Amino acid sequence: MRKKIYLLLAAPLIAALSANAQAPGANVDVQHYRFAITLNDADNVIKGQATITAKFLKPATTLALDLYKKNKDGKGMMVSAIKENNLPVKYTQDSDKLVLNIKALKGSTHNYVIIYKGIPTDGLIISTNQYKHRTFFGDNWATRARYWLPCVDDPADKASVEFLVTAPAKYKVVSNGLKVIEKPLPLNKKLTHWSETAQLPTKVMVIGVADFAIANPGNPGGTPVYSYVFPEDKVEGLKNYAVAAKILPWFVKRIGAFPYKKLANVQSKTIFGGMENAGAIFYYEKSVNDNKGIEPLMAHEIAHQWFGDAVSEKTWWHVWLSEGFATYMTNLYMEGTYGADTLKSRLATDRDMIFGFEKKYRAPVVDSAYKGQMIGMLNANAYQKGGWVLHMLRRKIGDDAFWKGIQAYYKQYNGSNANTNDLRLVMEKVSGKDLNPFFTQWLRDAGHPQLKITWHYQQKNKSLTIHINQLQEKPYQLTVEFMVDGKLYKSDVKGVAYTITVPVASATPDVKADPNVNLLATFDTTNKPSDTKPVEPTN
């Protein structure tokens, strides 16, 4: 997902962090959702019939689903009936929960049909686009599916999904998976059925309904790529969106097979700059006109198809496994496409954003103490710092081990969930290194290294002594790189201070710290005679 700041400021509040749906004590694992949704142009009322296939993890007398009830403003979903095997099921509905009274044995699977209708307060954005045409777009992240779909609205409970959308015939419908059928109905309506067999979290289950111009710019590796844009943007939009057909195979080659049967890139009307809905990515309206920005934006969202969608975080505290991965995979794509200088430039920009954010909110990347709105976790820690950690991991274990680890991580957790420790264990296995100190200091501790670097020339042996002092409270284990007169040197620093001596040709060498932008740190390289004498090395 890519944030769109001016839209986020106006975004409705998102529910506070929810409990993990399949944490110890949970009684259900949803296997499949079938949502039949009826839309109309007369008003914003939607009619829904949800069929939920639930496997019970232990004996149960209730099943609690997330669904927002009709509120005092008249918005929300009201359930009128629930059935199992065509027999009525008793239920209660409060402000945000739908509780079914049931009898289920451990290991048993049940199908519940829920009839409901209402005006979505959020989740399904019913609006008009910039051309004043009516549109309907799902926008579920993080826990907003519950505003229009009865579900277990948590990333840990993944399921396959179908959408059967009945709407005025003038609209085209896009969704997850493949189109099963599109057929006309009486009264100038149309039924469109999409089905996704892969396991998805509810955050990326969506529909998009609007008047679209559609193109197929390519089928890389047999995966059809589609572009959906508003007809008014057809010429420029279809041209700019076609870059997706180049991006997709770049990631397939390095990560693994694309997890879905098609990739649609959709111009939309939602609150984010880009939203990584599985196989049906939604982009902000004016993205079609962003000739330079559309490529990295698409790379970010396409990378999410593997990381965030196919491999989802176990809990929201580990959202960096989604956003940090997409951020760094974008940087890697840009490096591979445009060269190493592009990567360095992007990393330097990201580093500045990280330090700027830290001044406002000091917290670790895995921020288990966070109690605010979920939207607040979409920050520079999750995106830029998470991406930077992957960059430093790549430098630490080497390119070969890094990509083997990425591939192994995806293969092991595709269709399920992972946390930070799961990633660490995979990377340790492929690299043969103990990465616990690395993961702890960069992801579970707040802050960053603050390095004071001084040097002085020694005439006797024509060498340069470089002193590295860590000024922050807790020293990091890190590698510092120096370029001295065009030659690269690396120093592994584990204590408060460290000294390195290198040969030089003159008393005025050219010294650059971190020339290749490989360390997430601040560098004070002011080298004046009045500087305090360096702290003696401890390692």
Contact criterion met (CB below 8 Å) for 495 and 475: yes
5-14+25-305 topology per CATH? Immunoglobulin-like (2.60.40)
Output the DSSP codes for 175-225: ESSEEEEEEEETTTEEEEEEEEEEEE-GGG--EEEE--EEEEEE-GGG--E
Comparing C-alpha atoms, which of 463, 465, 467, 455 is closest to residue 506? 463
Q: For the domain bounded by 450-524, which CATH number is listed?
A: 2.60.40.1840
Cα separation, 11 vs 236, in Å, equals: 28
Q: Which residues sit opposite 110 in a β-bridge?
A: 54
pLDDT number for residue 535: 42
Q: Which residues sit opposite 93 in a β-bridge?
A: 98
Cα separation, 244 vs 294, in Å, equals: 9
Question: Using one digit for the tens of pLDDT, what is the confidence trace for 193-249?
Answer: 999 999 999 999 999 999 999 999 999 999 999 999 999 999 999 999 999 999 999
CB atoms < 10 A from the CB of 107, how many?
Answer: 10
For domain 312-444, which architecture applies?
Orthogonal Bundle (1.10)
pLDDT number for residue 253: 98
pLDDT along the chain (539 residues), means of 10: 44 35 72 98 98 97 97 96 98 97 97 98 97 98 97 96 98 98 98 98 98 98 98 98 98 98 97 96 97 97 98 96 98 98 98 97 95 91 98 98 98 98 98 98 98 94 96 96 96 95 95 97 78 41
pLDDT number for residue 22: 59
Cα separation, 118 vs 122, in Å, equals: 11
Cα separation, 345 vs 358, in Å, equals: 20
Do the two domains 312-444 and 450-524 of this chain adopt the same fold? no
297: left (phi over 0), alpha (psi -120 to 50) or beta: alpha
pLDDT number for residue 533: 43
pLDDT number for residue 25: 63
Residue 438, helix vs strand vs coil: helix
Comparing C-alpha atoms, which of 21, 118, 104 is closest to residue 67? 118
pLDDT number for residue 19: 36
Write the secondary structure of 465-524 as one string of H (helix), E (strand) and C (coil).
EEEEEECCCCCCCEEEEEEECCEEEEEEECCCEEEEEEECCCCCCCEEECCCCCCCCEEE
Which sequence spans correspond to the domains of the chain? 5-14+25-305, 312-444, 450-524
User: Nearest 5°: phi and psi at 165?
Assistant: -110, 120
pLDDT number for residue 76: 98
